[in-house]
């Protein structure tokens, strides 16, 4: 078995499992205390990862801001078609950045701005096993997976999530709000991924749930 980094999926959602309202707004579902705790997690992991959808929608910097960090994590964008613009905040000098693209993508505009990792295309985007292998070879031991729902769904479907930290806010969004997970999901309850709840902590107005997959 290939050694791979530990993958911790972090999400922040409403009581009804939504991460974005119908108009695309998401700032802020959770409290300042919960967001600061999320930055603590960034500081404790060797890398923080998002997909291209999150990059385009939020233009996140992905550096640690609200907590002390011994060093900034490696920022990773999983971007099959190399759509991350050269002006993206994740390409600033606050922390190192790696962008994973398909081996046939035109990433010329990213050269010199970030490390570009080329991987084979698969039906779901990029080969996640090869991505994790490449990150392990670079010394990454833990990844904070911050989204979005498509990338998180792909990791879950591949059985590559080792722990979940979910910040749940006492908010109801409903309607056209987007759920925390995308992808095929479980066809029936028997196929649902089961987790063991390891910790429940109130943070600010919210609740932080920590869970690990049942073996």
Name the residue ranges covered by the structural domains of the chain: 6-193
Residue 92 pLDDT more than 50? yes
- Mean pLDDT on 58-84: 81
CA–CA separation, 162 and 141 (whole Å): 12
% the chain with pLDDT above 90: 52
Nearest to 117 by CA among 97, 101, 136: 101
pLDDT band at 2 (very low <50, low <70, confident <90, very high): low
pLDDT average, residue stretch 120-136: 91
The most confident of 63-67, 89-93, 173-177, by mean pLDDT:
89-93
- In the prediction, which pLDDT does 183 show? 76
Q: For residue 36, what pLDDT is reported? A: 87
- Give the pLDDT band of residue 1 (cuts 50, 70, 90): very low
- DSSP string for 25-90: --TTSS-HHHHHHHHHHHHHSSEEEEEHHHHHHH----S--SS--SSPPEEEEE-TT----TT-GG
Q: Is the pLDDT of residue 66 over 60?
A: no
Q: Higher pLDDT residue, 133 or 192?
A: 133
pLDDT per position as a tens digit, 10-54: 999 998 888 877 777 777 889 989 988 888 888 888 899 998 888
Average pLDDT, the chain: 87
**DSSP β-ladder status, 206-213 and 74-78:** unpaired
What distance in Å separates the CA atoms of residue 22 and residue 90, rounded to the nearest whole number? 26
Span 68-94, mean pLDDT?
A: 87
Average pLDDT over residues 175-201: 84
Please state which CATH number belongs to domain 6-193. Answer: 3.40.430.10
């Amino acid at each position: 078995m290939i050694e791979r980094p530990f993958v911790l999926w972090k999400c922040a959602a409403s009581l009804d499992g939504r991460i974005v309202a119908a108009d695309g707004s998401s700032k802020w579902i959770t409290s300042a205390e919960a967001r600061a705790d999320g930055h603590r997690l960034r500081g404790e992991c060797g890398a923080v990862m998002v997909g291209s959808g999150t990059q385009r929608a939020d233009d996140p910097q992905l550096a640690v801001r609200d907590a002390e960090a011994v060093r900034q994590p490696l920022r990773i964008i999983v971007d099959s078609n190399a759509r991350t613009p050269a002006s993206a905040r994740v390409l600033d000098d606050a922390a190192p950045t790696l962008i994973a693209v398909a081996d046939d993508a035109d990433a010329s505009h990213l050269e010199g701005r970030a490390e570009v990792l080329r991987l084979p295309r698969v039906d779901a985007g990029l080969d996640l096993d090869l991505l994790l292998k490449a990150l392990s070879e670079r010394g990454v031991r833990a990844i904070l997976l911050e989204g979005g729902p498509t990338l998180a769904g792909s990791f879950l479907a591949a059985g590559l999530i080792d722990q979940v930290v979910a910040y749940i806010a006492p908010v109801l969004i409903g309607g056209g709000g987007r759920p925390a997970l995308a992808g095929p999901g479980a066809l029936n309850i028997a196929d649902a991924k089961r987790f063991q709840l390891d910790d429940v902590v109130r943070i600010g107005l919210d609740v932080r749930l920590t869970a690990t997959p049942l073996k």
